[in-house]
Amino acid sequence: MKVVPRSSKNGVAGVVEGALKVNLNAPPVDGAANEALRELIAHLCNLRKNDVTIISGHTSRLKRLYLSAISLDKAKQLLGIN
């Protein structure tokens, strides 16, 4: 997942170079962008925020997430990934 902080609005912007591109209006300061990412993905996948875990990339724009309580196919469908 490629995160773009300080965007004009939150949302999924498609797939870029094999990674899901997510725009966040939160700044990358004090974990604000990470929390906004967890909230957005949880909302889009109908999950609780606690069901979304950042596995790697806490200080990077490239991140790996773990979504519990949802299948990969269902997550892809809800996020608009083919």
Rg (C-alpha) for the chain, rounded Å, is 12
Mean pLDDT of 49-53: 97
Tokens matching residue 4: 């773009």
Count of residues in the chain: 82
On the 0-12 / 13-18 / 19+ scale of CB atoms within 10 A, 31 is middle
Report the alpha-carbon distance of residue 45 to residue 68 in Å, rounded.
Answer: 11
Examine the pLDDT at 67 and tell me if it is beyond 90.
Answer: yes
Query: Mind listing the pLDDT tens digit for each residue in 12-46?
Result: 999 999 899 999 999 999 999 999 999 999 999 99
pTM tops 0.85, yes or no: yes
pLDDT score of 81: 86
pLDDT score of 82: 73
The DSSP secondary-structure symbol of 31 reads T
Contact 10, 32 (CB under 8 A): no
